Chains A and B, each alone.
Chain A
Amino acid sequence: MNAAPTAAGHGLLACAVCRLVSRAPQSGDAHCPRCGAALHARKPASLARTWAFLIAAMILYVPANVLPIMDTSSLFGTQRDTILSGVVFLWTSGSFILAALVFFASVVVPLAKMIVLAILAGSVQMRSVKHRRIRTRLYRMIEFVGRWSMLDIYVVTILVALVQVSTFASIHAGPGAAAFGGVVVLTMFAAASFDPRLIWDTQGEES
């Protein structure tokens, strides 16, 4: 028998909204006696949903980086900016801190998020018992930093709004922006679908 007392191990269900712990019903769907939320021992179809969102995000990640997120047309011609060329522009114009910040938010965060989620889902599927605490912490981390990759979407929004109407140039949002927004949304859904408790469900098998 495993030593750690878990809610599931004791036939109890924890409400994800109000945190009330209640006894699981013998049959049928469970609802929280205090707030009425649907109760699940684990998030339903957690791994399948995580993979589905994750793979969709990975596919969309390609156009998000290849297609321009912004077209700038001025008297000097048209310039198409991708996520990366935007970072390069900031760097070469001397805004090193900002360039690093945008690089982190738009390149490192989404990539790290997808890699970490793949590792988490994969390791759960292989019933790994290693580094559970670290894996749980990784999950917490990607949930926290994921939102920051919206940064470039907001930059494009402001630039389009301000420069569209002015005379010296016009800036339009490119198809890359929609793809990139899609990546952010899909990775957020993927992270929300993953159930970190699955990491610990292998407890009994640890030597």
Chain B
Amino acid sequence: MPEYKLIACLECDLLHRQVPLAPGGEARCTRCGARLYRRASPDSNQRALALALAACILFIIANIYPIVGLEVQGTHTSSTLFGAVKSLWEEGARAVATLVFVTTFFVPAAELIGLIWVLVTLRRGARGWGTVPMLHFIESVKPWGMVEVFVLGVLVSLVKLAHVASVEPGVALFSFGALMAMVAAAAAAFDADAAWAQLETIR
């Protein structure tokens, strides 16, 4: 029984022998039901790259334009994500500002750039500089990217403000919404198993 054909469940440690799956199929642990591995379609990493590049553009738009605008007694105010973090920081809520910056800007940006980096390197058929640390990095920061929660948070604040002023959702809100979908699609398409297998053959 060669070792590379074995896979251990990360949630209960049960050993399984890897069997070939139909494209799009996934294998679950027979004891606890956790996901073990899946078989992505052959072009899935190409799709992941396209989605990640699209997400990059959305990310830039989402950070340039205001998220929401507010109109009270003829005065109009609006804020970008950066502006929001800045006003939190300036009024002394530095811990909260840092948390918001890390979860909505830094981690999503790093994840996207890292993913594109890895996919482009693998596409060129090279092992590339920093590919392995980049994959480690993506894996470790993943739980801290919270764009989808942020989008919901903006919607809730819109409803709250609608009671006292007229609010208008900004371009960035829609971009963040699309970004959320795009990031999820790119992450779902990214076939890490294929990436690791490919990295192993080109050392």
Contacts and interface: CB of A to CB of B under 8 A. Distances in A.
Interface in A116-135: 132-133
Nearest to A148: B149
Interface in B140-174: 143-144, 146, 149-150, 152-154, 156-157, 159-161, 163-165
B84 interface: yes
Given A10-B15, A132-B32, A173 B72 contact: no
A98 B103 CA distance: 23
A6 interface: yes
B70 A166 contact: yes
Given A12-B8, A160-B84, A150 B149 contact: yes
Given A153-B99, A181-B96, A188-B143, A164 B15 contact: no
Given A14-B10, A16-B10, A21-B15, A161 B32 contact: no
B79 interface: yes
A159 B154 CA distance: 9
B72 A197 contact: no
B43 interface: no
B96 A177 contact: yes
A137 B164 CA distance: 43
A158 B72 contact: no
Contacts of A4: 14, 31
Nearest to B95: A178
A99 B115 CA distance: 37
B84 A177 contact: no
Contacts of B33: 133, 136-137
B136 A35 contact: yes
Interface in B13-52: 13-15, 31-34, 37
For B84, B96, B136, the residue with the greatest tally of chain A CB atoms inside 10 Å of its CB is B96
A25 to B, nearest CB: 14
Interface of B: 3-4, 6-8, 10-15, 31-34, 37, 67-68, 70, 72-73, 75, 77-79, 83-85, 87-88, 91, 93, 95-97, 99-100, 103-104, 132, 135-136, 139, 143-144, 146, 149-150, 152-154, 156-157, 159-161, 163-165, 192-193, 196, 199-200
7 contacts: A12-B8, A35-B135, A89-B160, A140-B11, A158-B68, A158-B79, A173-B96
Interface of A: 4-10, 12, 14, 16-23, 34-37, 89-90, 93, 95, 98, 101-102, 105, 132-133, 136-137, 139-140, 143, 147-148, 150-169, 172-173, 177-178, 181-182, 185, 188, 192, 196-197, 199-201
